[in-house]
Chain A
Amino acid sequence: MKTSLSLNNVTKRFGDVEAVKNISISLHEGEFVALLGASGCGKSTSLRLLAGLEKPSEGQIFLGDKDVTGKSPAERNIALMFQSYALYPHLTVFQNIAIPLRMRQLSAIQRLPGYGLLSSSIRQKHNEISDRVKQMAEMLRLSTLLDRKPGQLSGGQQQRVALARALVRKPSAFLLDEPLSNLDTQLRSETRDEIRSIHKRTNYPFLLVTHDQSDAFSMADNVAVMIDGEIAQFASPKDIFCKPATISVARFIGQHRMNILPAGAAVSLHPAGGQLSLGVRPEELIISTAGTLEATIESLIFHGEETIVNLVGPKQQKLRVVVHSSNELPNTGENVKLSADLNALHAFDADGYRKELTS
């Protein structure tokens, strides 16, 4: 696959603060990558660096094999959809979608109203732009809304206008900044499907920036997990979930925070726990009489299809178990024994890096 957009060893400093620390990331043609991280981790800065809205303090940015480090967003021809959509409130839906084309294809004088009357070649261009806008509107079900102002649209409609404006020209890459965060649950899953299908249809390289792992996992081919300005892991969603590369990725990923038993205490789950820390997801820690880890139940929280059990281990470490059936729940204060499958154990060395366990 051809690399279409990449950051090479890029660092970005704001004053004394390093927002992005020496990261490298590549986006290939037809690939859908998600940049996943908690707020403040540097993912938005990375996106702005890719778009050209910020200039890196160090490192280079490549578009194909061209160095575009100093180039403006327009020169990079990158499309960007903003979290707030950033539609022009004074322009109609049609004019909003047409802006990127008008700016690229017409000079300042040619953009003046009425100029098209003077020259047939300009009229030709105007018609082309109009056709392309209508085509985009058709694709995003906006055809009936073209004369409205953004203030008259619902959130979902505004988002489709933002999508149309981003895609109306043929961009070299499409960056999406938290596209789903302003939508309700119902609209969210519809929009996920919509974005996926647009990606399939257009085959542009997509980069999704999000703090929501289910958005990232459900849409992207590959996910880059960003923690404290660095890329902690870049892999397929499945690998990230099943084989977290570091202890911090392991903690960050998953619906429930992973139980981590420090080296020493972990020996009761696996012999390697003497030297390595062991992590087990709460869903995979099992209460069973055959268990080897003793713990006391502190509280039970009932959530419907699952119940969260909070426990305290032998060395006062907090543990959590998620139980999916509701028929055989233990009681608070009870001492129980816990066990986990070998496959469910994640081992990390003293520096926090993953070690594969052997039986």
Chain B
Amino acid sequence: MIRRAITDLVLVGPAALAIVIFIFLPAIVVILLAFTDYQFGSSTANWIGVDNFTSLFGSKIGRKALTNTLIYAGIVIPASVGLGLLVAIGLHHLTTSLPKASNILRAIYFLPVSATLVAMAVSWQMLLHPSLGLINNWLSILGIAPQQWLSNRDLVLYTLAVIGIWQSVGYNMVLFLAGLAAIPKTLYDAAEVDGVTGGWSRFWVVTWPMLGPITMFVIIVTAANAFRVFESVAAMTKGGPAFASDTIVYAIYREGFVYFKAGYASAITVIFFIALLLLTALQIALVERKVHYR
């Protein structure tokens, strides 16, 4: 009996220890740091209570990062889920009529997902260059004034959102395609017999509800990625100009690793962690209740 217990401990021990050392311990350190004015590299820190949290919500820059992130997610989540679904439905129907074209288009849509965003950011910067970039050149052919895509404060967040959508549509499309393929054909037959005529009613009576679980999953994944937006900001705008494209995760990086304000960065991390935790809990509750149909 005791031997058995020892064996079990030996099996479980290392992994548990690793998790404690590499995940729980640092997480506790981060939570503790959030209540200090610790500077990265310095040898002392003072306990300052909730000051970091009040200055996050009280400062213009802190609030800007929060609202920017919400606007970004507010655009990217519905657009990339909606477009992903639309493209998936189109390609799903195309598989029967033009299988080759459908496969090629699938690969094209999936390309941005497999490319690393930091590398793609260089291409985007070239495309979006105000005087040399292709996009402004095309616009001027159409008679539209050139835009400062990445350096106009009113525009930069939306440019990043479009890039975010571009990057995630392919992934969502693949998930939706799998979901569409899993819908039993007989359900469509049944719907037809029951008098569900026309693509629109068929979508609402069969396709949409049957995609419920996958849609929920796609939304969770897209939301998690949208709220964590970082690479495109770091690679293309560094949060600028004038904090116009600052986001929460970029702010964590900026405060912690550029300004070396480890305490403050930890406070943002804690808030962000709690927010994501709540969101996930909410989504799980919704998923369990609404989409699994039992």
Does chain A touch chain B in the assembled complex, meaning CB atoms less than 8 Å apart?
Answer: yes
Residues of A bordering B, CB below 8 Å: 48, 51-53, 72-74, 78-80, 82-84, 86-91, 99-100, 103-104, 108, 149-152, 165
In-complex Cβ contact of B293 among A53, A73, A84, A89 (8 A): A89
17 of the cross-chain contacts (CB-CB < 8 Å) are A52-B192, A72-B192, A74-B192, A74-B195, A74-B197, A80-B190, A82-B189, A84-B184, A86-B186, A86-B190, A88-B190, A90-B212, A99-B205, A100-B193, A103-B197, A149-B293, A151-B293
Please indicate the chain B residues that have their CB under 8 angstroms from the CB of A152 in the complex: 294
Point out which of B190, B200, B212, B293 has the most chain A C-beta atoms below 10 A from its C-beta. Answer: B190
Total contacts A-B at CB 8 Å: 67
For residue B267, CB closer than 8 A to chain A, the reply is no
In whole angstroms, what is the CA distance A88 to B184 when docked?
A: 11
In whole angstroms, what is the CA distance A100 to B193 when docked?
A: 8
Please indicate the chain A residues that have their CB under 8 angstroms from the CB of B195 in the complex: 74, 100, 103-104
For residue B187, CB closer than 8 A to chain A, the reply is yes
B210 touching A86, Cβ below 8 Å: no
B196 touching A80, Cβ below 8 Å: no
For residue B209, CB closer than 8 A to chain A, the reply is yes
B205 touching A51, Cβ below 8 Å: no
For residue B8, CB closer than 8 A to chain A, the reply is no
In-complex Cβ contact of A103 among B201, B206, B293, B294 (8 A): B201
In whole angstroms, what is the CA distance A165 to B200 when docked?
A: 22
| Known contacts A82-B186, A88-B206; is-contact A74 B193 (Cβ 8 Å) | yes
Q: Which residue of A lies closest to B198 (CB)?
A: A108
In whole angstroms, what is the CA distance A83 to B186 when docked?
A: 9
- Min distance, Cβ A159 to any Cβ of chain B, angstroms: 14
A151 touching B197, Cβ below 8 Å: no
B194 touching A165, Cβ below 8 Å: yes
In whole angstroms, what is the CA distance A84 to B190 when docked?
A: 10
- Min distance, Cβ B272 to any Cβ of chain A, angstroms: 34
Contacts A79-B193, A151-B294 known; 5 new A-B pairs at CB < 8 A: A72-B197, A78-B193, A103-B194, A108-B201, A150-B293
Q: Which residue of B lies closest to A100 (CB)?
A: B194
Residues of B bordering A, CB below 8 Å: 184, 186-187, 189-190, 192-197, 200-201, 205-206, 209-210, 212, 293-294
Q: Which residue of A lies closest to B192 (CB)?
A: A73
Please indicate the chain B residues that have their CB under 8 angstroms from the CB of A149 in the complex: 293-294
A84 touching B197, Cβ below 8 Å: no
B187 touching A86, Cβ below 8 Å: yes
Please indicate the chain A residues that have their CB under 8 angstroms from the CB of B196 in the complex: 74, 99, 103
In whole angstroms, what is the CA distance A151 to B209 when docked?
A: 14
Closest 8 pairs between A and B when the two form their complex, measured CB to CB: A103-B195, A86-B190, A90-B209, A74-B195, A86-B186, A100-B194, A151-B294, A73-B193
In whole angstroms, what is the CA distance A224 to B209 when docked?
A: 39
Please indicate the chain B residues that have their CB under 8 angstroms from the CB of A165 in the complex: 194
- Min distance, Cβ A176 to any Cβ of chain B, angstroms: 12
Point out which of B194, B195, B200 has the most chain A C-beta atoms below 10 A from its C-beta. Answer: B194
| Known contacts A100-B194, A108-B201; is-contact A86 B189 (Cβ 8 Å) | yes
In whole angstroms, what is the CA distance A338 to B71 when docked?
A: 91
B293 touching A99, Cβ below 8 Å: no
Please indicate the chain A residues that have their CB under 8 angstroms from the CB of B192 in the complex: 52-53, 72-74
Please indicate the chain B residues that have their CB under 8 angstroms from the CB of A80 in the complex: 189-190, 193
Please indicate the chain B residues that have their CB under 8 angstroms from the CB of A103 in the complex: 194-197, 201
Please indicate the chain A residues that have their CB under 8 angstroms from the CB of B189 in the complex: 48, 53, 80, 82, 86
Q: Which residue of B lies closest to A105 (CB)?
A: B195
- Min distance, Cβ A285 to any Cβ of chain B, angstroms: 44
Q: Which residue of B lies closest to A80 (CB)?
A: B193
Please indicate the chain A residues that have their CB under 8 angstroms from the CB of B212 in the complex: 90
Please indicate the chain B residues that have their CB under 8 angstroms from the CB of A82 in the complex: 186, 189-190
Please indicate the chain A residues that have their CB under 8 angstroms from the CB of B187 in the complex: 86, 88
Please indicate the chain B residues that have their CB under 8 angstroms from the CB of A51 in the complex: 193
In whole angstroms, what is the CA distance A149 to B212 when docked?
A: 15
A90 touching B293, Cβ below 8 Å: yes
Please indicate the chain B residues that have their CB under 8 angstroms from the CB of A72 in the complex: 192, 197
In whole angstroms, what is the CA distance A168 to B158 when docked?
A: 52
Please indicate the chain B residues that have their CB under 8 angstroms from the CB of A73 in the complex: 192-193
In whole angstroms, what is the CA distance A89 to B210 when docked?
A: 8
In whole angstroms, what is the CA distance A72 to B202 when docked?
A: 14
Q: Which residue of B lies closest to A165 (CB)?
A: B194
Q: Which residue of A lies closest to B208 (CB)?
A: A90
Please indicate the chain A residues that have their CB under 8 angstroms from the CB of B193 in the complex: 51, 53, 73-74, 78-80, 100
Please indicate the chain B residues that have their CB under 8 angstroms from the CB of A100 in the complex: 193-195
In whole angstroms, what is the CA distance A150 to B294 when docked?
A: 8
Please indicate the chain B residues that have their CB under 8 angstroms from the CB of A88 in the complex: 187, 190, 205-206, 209
- Min distance, Cβ A272 to any Cβ of chain B, angstroms: 50
In whole angstroms, what is the CA distance A82 to B189 when docked?
A: 9
- Min distance, Cβ A26 to any Cβ of chain B, angstroms: 21
In whole angstroms, what is the CA distance A89 to B196 when docked?
A: 16
In whole angstroms, what is the CA distance A51 to B195 when docked?
A: 12
In whole angstroms, what is the CA distance A15 to B293 when docked?
A: 39
Q: Which residue of A lies closest to B200 (CB)?
A: A108
In whole angstroms, what is the CA distance A48 to B15 when docked?
A: 58
In whole angstroms, what is the CA distance A262 to B23 when docked?
A: 82
In whole angstroms, what is the CA distance A221 to B212 when docked?
A: 44
In whole angstroms, what is the CA distance A52 to B193 when docked?
A: 8
